[in-house]
Structure 1
Amino acid sequence: MIHTTVGQLGHFFVILSFVTSLVATVAYFLSALGRRTSVQTISVEEPQLAYAGESSFGGKTARHKAAVQPATPDNEKDDWKGLARWAFYVHGAAVLGVIACLFYIIFNHYFEYHYAWSHSSRALPVYYMIACFWESQEGSFLLWLFWNVVLGNLLIRTAGKTWEAPIMTVFALVQVFLASMIMGVVFGDTFKLGSSPFLLLREAMPDAPIFGTDPNFVPKDGNGLNPLLQNYWMVIHPPTTFLGYALTLVPFAYCIAGLWRNEPFAWIRPALPWTLAGGLILGTAIMMGAYWAYETLNFGGYWNWDPVENSVYVPWLVLVASVHTMLTAKRSSTALKSSIILTIATFILVLYSTFLTRSGILGNASVHSFTDLGLSGQLLVYLLVFVALAVVLAARKWKHIPTDDQEASVYTKEFWLFIGATVLCLAAFQVIATTSIPVYNKILESFGKISNLALPADQIAHYNKFQVWFFVVIALLTGVGQYMWWRKVDNKKWDALITPAIITLLISAGVIALGGIKNPVYMALLVSAVFAVVTNGSILIGVIRGNYRFSGGAIAHLGMALMLIGILYSAGYSTVISVNTSGLLISNQDEFTKNDNKENKENTLLWLNQPERMGQYQLTYRGQRIEAREIPGYIPRKDVMVIEGDFHGIAQKDIEKNGKVYYKKGDTLALYPENTYYEVEYREPDGKVFSLYPRAQVNAKMGLLASPDTRHKADRDIYTYVNSVPDPEAENKWEKTETYSVAIKDTFFLNDYVAILDDVVRTNEVDGLQIGPEDAAVRAHVRVMSKNGEQVLSPAFVIKNRMVAHPAETSDELGVRIQLNEIDPRTGKFTFAVNRTQRDYIVMKAFEKPLINLLWIGTFLVILGFGFSTIRRYREFSKMRDKLV
């Protein structure tokens, strides 16, 4: 049965959301035109109740009052605003309706819909169904729409009657463009507006042969969620990212509204808390993505300078720069102009990043950018419209911004905040300039030119080479800037910085000497980070003694410094544990695209249950494991016969954990899909033992998908992943049978191992068979000797009800299956049938990453600092607003 009603309802909600956002835009625009604003400079003696900001020019302070002149009496009802509000409310309800319909389709496994079939499957738990909701472009645009709806409703209630109309005009216009991205309406044969998430599979794939024979065909299951996205961080990371994107719209809308109303100062105070909140949320999203990469991807780190990573990092840097200029905008015309430029640039960079990652222009430059769904033209229009709107408006209103009579002194906090913002912007420019190389090529191609520009071969080295120096400067500026901010440096004297400088040099010299740091770049980064810790730490102690609410800046800067130290050590001094000393050639050019010799040295081969010494650890591969839905931890794969494609298995023995039997032999149990875990046992020098479970999946489309497992310690992480595993198709393939007829104590060879038949004895216990009084059973004891010791194989020979059975004994460690086929009492010979197969193994790589916890602790402090600052600035704005009201 094809369920078309829910899709039709969902598409109706899409159309409704587009139309209502358009109505809200027009209505709010007309409401905003109902008021006129002008800027006049008044003397210091005038009443200051309604001032919007202040500037310091030539040592004189001028306050700027926004004179709002209603075009109609205050008691006259604004019908346009009323209509706009209701249109936006209905728009919000329509967006919720779209989300509800799409999730209903995914949750109920309506695989007749292309979206559900492409991204979901019956095996996914509910929380991964939520993740597959935003795996594709349409879902992520919906997420963006949703957060804009939430923020728009908050602004309607908090912005105030004079700000609501111009701000919400911008908000509603953004919603028009976002809603158009999921319209999926075709005009004629060529023009398509948006990509609908409610397309039926037969509409999305009309040429598929199956629909020619069965137009109502519905797949039994979907393709499932990308294995790399089956991680709890992917449930919370994308919503956090898009909330960060949505928050950049708020200061942008305030800025546009301030310019529109000829109030270039007034927008700063209400926009600042939202800007800080955007920095908090977007920064959190970046580090969530980094931790997801650290847990899920196997490149050995948390940051790879991938274009998608850069597309979030760059707007965040500019956003943080705008925070610093906004803090001093009321005292400096230069800072005010910078705030306008940077606030606009932040939102435009978000749109540009969206274009980069969703238009398909990056091609193969990114490992996880979206493919082009035919939206590249719309995305470009979306970007250009807001660029034109912001640039034209800012250019026309620039004359309303006064000019400073004299340049800011080097002894003022405004100067150092501006320098810090400048360095942040330069760091952002370097990243976006390189990331945009495919865009330059595309532009030149459109003019018939051929470009030879290419992305750096080693992107990590390229970006690090520049970014490390930017952050050396930034770390130093945080210390100097905090001392300036809290007036520790007065009367053009820098004496206050001497003590922290001496402490920094002493600590740094000790760490460099004891730690053996020889790289000059690392030395510079360490010294600057330690200086930031010392200076911001001393400021923090002083501030907390007074009022902890003012400590946000010092906490955030301290966290940033700890992050730099964590990055320095975890990336710069990561140690490979898995050094290959066997002399075996493990890698080749077909498997590894990087330095072949390096991969041979840093990957090691582990055979099942054969210990290997690696550095201070003894490592042993203990076998394949799988996850069952109702059993804690992992269970041996050989204990369950997996039913392919069904996400269930049959227990081959009683499955017991911690003394509790979860399943009896023969029971059917539910399994988590697709993933196999490889248990690697670590034995430390003190005898302590722990196991890591890196996972891998041999995917038909994507090859080997490997994810690491990590042991977290106070001073380091042990990071382990597999690079190669046996081919699952060859796992159960046995070579042709070989027979051996031997007597007791004879020696023969099993898969290149020496074997001795020690004895054949009577037995009453054979797995799977009940031995009665009239039955007979014997078991051979075959001792196999390898370099790691001896192993005994015990195949049985059973006569039951005058029938003969030959239960085989299998050894994964030896890659051998042996059966006792014949017993000749006349000669005393025993005939064994032997099959050989590939022995179980893994090729793995392991690192020690020192002091990586400083990175995560620093991240927490940065988030905490942003949180304190956001709350403080919001309270200040609320008090000011209440006074004005």
Structure 2
Amino acid sequence: MIHTTVGQLGHFFVILSFVTALVATVAYFLSALGLGKMAQAELVEEPQLAYAGESTSREANFGGKTAKRKAKPAVQNPEPPARDDWRTLARWAFYIHGAAVVGVASSLFYIIYNHYFEYHYAWSHSSRALPVQYMISCFWEGQEGSFLLWLFWNAVLGVVLTRTSSKQWEAPMLAIFALVQAFLASMILGVIFGDSFKVGSSPFLLLSEAMPDAPIFSADPNFVPKDGNGLNPLLQNYWMVIHPPTLFLGFALALVPFAYCIAGLWRNQPLEWIRPALPWTLIGGMVLGIGVMMGGYWAYETLNFEGYWNWDPVENAVYVPWLVLVAALHTMLIAKRSSAGLKMAIILTISTYVLILYSTFLSRSGILGNASVHSFTDLGLSGQLLLYLMAFIVLAVALAASKWKYIPADTDEASVYSKEFWLFIGATVLCLAAFQVIATTSIPVYNKILESFGKISNLALPADQVAHYSKFQIWFFVAIALLTGVAQYIWWRKLENKKWDALITPGILTLLISAGLIAFGEMKNPVYMALLVASIFALMTNGNILLDVIRGNYRLSGGAISHIGMALMLLGILYSAGYTKVISINNSGLLISKQEEFTKDNNKQNKENTLLWLNQPERMGQYQLTYRGQRIEARDVPGYIPRKDVEVIEGDFHGVALKDIIQDGKVYHKKGDTLALYPENTYYDVEYREPNGKIFNLYPRAQVNERMGLLASPDIRHKADRDMYTYVNSVPNPGDENKWEKTETYSVAIKDTFFLNDYVAILDDVVRTNEVEGMEIGPEDAAVRAKVRVLDKNGEHILSPAFIIKNRMVAHPAEMSDELGVRIQLNEINPQTGKFTFAVNRTQRDYIVMKAIEKPLINILWIGTLVVVIGFLIATVRRYRDFDKMKNKVA
């Protein structure tokens, strides 16, 4: 059955959201121009504008310059001001727009949740096997869903601002909000004009509409797939349920200061927008920073590049706007006292949102090609994305240029002892760090521009991106860490009378602590030493300031706490990235792999990866490692269960228990039961035995994906001072365990020696038995069992194939050993010669190639992130209260 109604309803809501966004834009624009009061303005004195310092003689103050305007004579007994009908219309249009966006989101999730695979979006991103939390992730895996998520957050914030903003700011600011919403809604509009002009990509396309040339629809126009393609296995992680919403909320929050800034310029009030925008800038910086770090933690837990940051172009495209937003925040703090600070605050606030749009263009236009593992494929929206970007660049730059004259120049030169000077320098360093990253990340864009002019560009992204970016960024953050300490002392007047004595104590403590850490930690890299000293200095200075501030008013401590968190993050990055220790050293001399991925640095890769055969212990540093076999996840069984205990039904996400499924003494399924399985992943049980005898297990996972090859994800053991990080690099090809080589036969007598798959085997004995698994032995039946002892370097294995005569029929069930890669049957007994004939098949032994590393002090990074968030929260609350008090005074 094809469910078209919900899709039609969803598409109606898309169109409604687009139209109402346009209506709200126009109505708010006209309201901002004052056209809603035009009729009343003809009867009464021209309404007073809200410029700071406006005099009763009708001189509007534009940042020190005045513009005299001739006032109209007042009429007798003026009528009360008329309602702003345009604003009323705009509000209702925006409310309907918000409701329509919710309707679109609800319709799309309804399609995904109910497995309506006749829709292309549901078929492409979902499947029946996914639990609900991953169905939520399916919602924003595709471009259309992520645009919709962005629309939703903007709509929520827009509604909040209509209820909380003062009348003077609502119309010009919400006009910008509504215009942004119109552009975003157009991205999912899915309307085609003529033969080829397409506006947006609809998430409500049917499969038959998205793939009209597919042969199946010629044979059956009503064909509906039984299941979908499923969610990318790398996205099947709880962080991907919360990371994208957080990141897009950060994008939406960055729109608020941008809208205030544009509104302030529009109203010829280039300074007044700072106060209401500041709390939003703080919370936007906090949420966007959390989103970035969530992405880093997801990468750390899910990807196998051994860290949380790989300088991928899409990672960079989100990191850069956050840096610029933090820089804008610092310039906003000095805007009241510094013309340069105000100008830079305007430039950086505009730049932050433009960079968010630019990052969207980079990741969704397809321009990055194969340069990023995160980028979306081009849905034909690159032209719209470019238009979206250019429209706001032109709007913001033109408006700022036309209003620049209203910003006065500073009368005094900035002193090196002024807080404005140091905050300005800090913001400049942040911008330089952002520029270095975005300049390199944009290389594919440069190439595309040159190609459009018929030129061929040989520019390429750095081969080793981590080394390229890190060698610059580390020095930028050395400077930033030092600046946070000095700036805090300047801010809190600790360096009065132009004396630097107050920095002597934290300076001495910094040198002593750093010297101890360098000496005892055997730190030899001078670059690392510089970052260590700068980070400790930031801790000492900001810690001292924090103690003083808390004694007075803890509400003022947000800046110091954020800077302490930043210093902790730098220390965590320094030790976890700079002093990662590989413990899976290959001392066997074996060439583990000749695969293509090892050719770049073959010697290093072979040295840092260990080959583990099933159930054969290997020494690795202080640990003894044993690979214990493949594991899978059942939906109603805690932990992992051996894969060999379940016959997996391919494509059905179910399996049949081959034996009782028991965990912690509890029987969850009896032999023969059907149990529901999680899809996609196989886990590899690696047992670690510590020198004290304590054992812990890690379960790195891997999936052989038809589209993406071997997808390996690590498992991590978290300790207070370090993480043990383990992942697999190579596993046997799926199905190889069922590929047996041709049968070999051996006729041996008791105590004879023969070879099984390169192992020495001895037939110790053949004895009568009354117990054979899966078969009942009656009094008229006969059964014997051989005892074959197989020797290897770590000990011996016992194989016991049976020979059964039951109801005058002969049976010889095989016994298999995964450790040995052997299947053996006792096929014949010859009483005359005293020999026993065995049939033997060999297969690929189960193994993994794995890498294990220790990442010291990585928890300091995550603790530092939390401390930064706390600092931002305290500062946000304080600035919001300040603004609220000021608003109440004005009211």
Tell me the TM-score normalized by structure 2. Answer: 0.96
2:416 match: 410
The yes-or-no answer on 1:392 pairing with 2:398 is yes
> Residue type matched to 2:603 in 1?
N
Say which SS state the counterpart of residue 496 (structure 2) adopts.
coil
1:373 equivalent to 2:373? Answer: no
Following the alignment from structure 2 to structure 1, what is the Cα–Cα distance between the partners of residues 6 and 556?
Answer: 52
C-alpha distance in 2, partners of 1:110/1:764? 55
Per-residue Cα deviation, 1:762-792 (whole angstroms, up to 9, x for no partner):
2222111122222222111111000010110
1:169 is matched with 175
Q: Which amino acid in 2 is paired with 1:21?
A: A
Pairing 1:192-591 to 2, within 5 Å after superposition: 192-591=198-597
How many Å apart are 1:520 and its aligned residue?
0.9
Q: CA RMSD in A?
A: 2.0
**Are the aligned partners of 2:65 and 2:406 in contact in 1 as well (CA < 8 Å)?**
no
- Partner letter of residue 268 of structure 2? N
TM-fit CA distance, 1:589: 5.0
Aligned counterpart for 1:106 among listed residues 105, 108, 112? 112
Q: Which amino acid in structure 1 is aligned with residue 134 of structure 2?
A: Y
Tell me the residue number matched to 2:100.
Answer: 94
2:51 touches 2:268 (CA, 8 Å); kept in 1? no
Confirm or deny that 1:610 pairs with 2:616: yes
Is the aligned partner of 1:32 residue 2:32?
A: yes
Structure 1 residues 768, 641: closer, same or farther in 2, change over 3 A? same
CA contact (8 A) 2:648 2:655 kept: yes
Query: What is the distance in 2 between the residues matched to 1:593 and 1:262?
Result: 62
Name the aligned partner's letter for residue 736 of structure 2: A
Q: Deviations over 1:578-597 (max 9, x none)?
A: 11111111122523353111
- Give me the whole-angstrom Cα distance separating, in 1, the residues matched to 2:693 and 2:681: 31
Indicate if the aligned counterparts of 1:641 and 1:651 stay in contact, CA closer than 8 A: yes
Q: In the aligned structure 1, how far is the partner of 2:340 from the partner of 2:15?
A: 45
Quote the Cα distance in structure 2 between the aligned partners of 1:37 and 1:445: 54
The AA in structure 1 aligned to 2:229 is: N
Query: What's the CA shift string for 1:542-568, capped at 9, x where partnerless?
Result: 212222211111111001101111111
- Per-residue Cα deviation, 1:316-364 (whole angstroms, up to 9, x for no partner): 0000001101011111111111110000000000001100110001111
Please say if residues 52 and 269 of structure 2, whose CA atoms lie closer than 8 Å, have aligned partners that are also in contact.
no
Q: 1:780 aligns with which of 769, 781, 786?
A: 786
Report the equivalent of 1:700. 706
User: Structure 1: how far apart are the matches of 2:731 and 2:554?
Assistant: 54
For structure 2, the 5+ residue unaligned runs are 36-46
Match of 2:884 among 868, 873, 878: 878
* Aligned equivalent of 1:679, options 678, 685, 705: 685
- Asked if 1:639 is matched to 2:650, the reply is no
Equivalent residues of 1:359, 1:379 under 8 A apart = yes
Could you tell me which amino acid in structure 2 is paired with residue 7 of structure 1?
Answer: G
Q: CA deviation at 1:63?
A: 13
**Distance in structure 2 (CA, Å) of the matches to 1:502 and 1:65:** 56
Does the alignment pair 1:11 with 2:18?
no
Partners of 1:400 and 1:357 lie apart in 2 by 37
For 1:805 and 1:532, the matched residues in 2 are separated by 78
Find the aligned partners of 2:49 and 2:85 in 1 and give their Cα distance.
24
How many Å separate the matches in 2 of 1:210 and 1:576?
52
Q: What's the offset of the Cα at 1:96? A: 0.7
CA distance in 2, matches of 1:255, 1:29: 16
Report if aligned partners of 1:39, 1:65 keep a CA contact under 8 Å in 2.
no
Equivalent pair of 2:51/2:269 in contact (CA under 8 Å) = no
Q: 2:814 pairs with 788, 801, 808, which one?
A: 808
Aligned residue type for 1:5 = T
Deviation at 1:40, TM superposition (A): 6.2
Going from structure 1 to structure 2, the CA distance change for 1:229 and 1:765 (only over 3 Å counts) comes to same
C-alpha distance in structure 2 between counterparts of 1:649 and 1:623, whole Å: 18
**Equivalent residues in 2 for 1:54-133, closer than 5 Å:** 75-133=81-139
Tell me the distance in 2 between the aligned counterparts of 1:111 and 1:676.
Answer: 26
Question: Matches of 1:593 and 1:395 in 2, distance apart?
Answer: 54
Please report the TM-score for the alignment, with normalisation by the length of structure 1. 0.96
Query: Post-superposition shift, 1:66?
Result: 14
- Alignment deviations for residues 790-826 of structure 1 (CA, whole Å, 9 cap, x no partner): 1101111122222222121111000001111112222
Contact 1:574 1:847 in 2 (8 A): yes
Aligned residue identity for 2:6: V
Distance 1:285 1:785, change over 3 A: same
- 1:265 Cα shift? 1.1
Q: Are 1:182 and 1:196, in contact at CA under 8 Å, matched by a contact in 2? A: yes
Listed one character per residue, the Cα deviations across residues 439-463 of structure 1 (whole Å, up to 9, x for unaligned) are 1111111111111211111111100
TM superposition shift of 1:686: 1.4
Moved over 4 A (4+): 35-43, 62-67, 69-74
User: For 1:617-658, what per-residue CA distance to the aligned partner results, in whole angstroms no more than 9, with x for missing partners?
Assistant: 111111000000000000000000000000000000001011
Counterpart CA distance in 1 for 2:468 and 2:393 is 30
CA distance in 2 between partners of 1:846 and 1:530 (Å): 30
CA contact (8 A) 1:352 1:383 kept: yes
1:346-394 deviation line (CA, Å, top 9, x unaligned): 0000001100110001111101100100000000000000001000100
Partner in structure 1 of residue 735 of structure 2: 729
Contact kept? 1:40, 1:66, Cα under 8 Å: no
How many angstroms does 1:191 deviate by? 0.7
* Distance in structure 1 (CA, Å) of the matches to 2:808 and 2:132: 54
Instruction: Evaluate the alpha carbon distance shift between residue 746 and residue 565 of structure 1 in structure 2; reply closer, same or farther with a 3 A threshold.
Output: same
- Counterparts in 2 of 1:73 and 1:249: CA distance versus 1, 3 Å: farther
| 3-state SS, counterpart of residue 369 of structure 1 | coil
Which amino acid letter does the alignment assign opposite residue 676 of structure 1?
T
3-state SS of paired residue (1:728) = coil
Q: Report how far residue 572 of structure 1 moved.
A: 0.6
2:668 is equivalent to residue 668 of structure 1? no
Which residue pairs with 2:186 in the alignment? 180
| Aligned equivalents of 2:48, 2:205: Cα separation in 1 | 48
1:16 maps to a residue whose letter is: L
Q: Which amino acid aligns with 2:811?
A: A
Could you list the per-position Cα deviations for residues 222-277 of structure 1 after superposition, in whole angstroms to 9, with x for gaps in the alignment? 10000000000000000000000000000000000001111111100000000000
Q: Which amino acid aligns with 1:18?
A: F
> When the two structures are aligned, how many residues end up with a matched partner?
872
Q: Conserved in 2, the CA contact under 8 Å of 1:41 and 1:63?
A: no
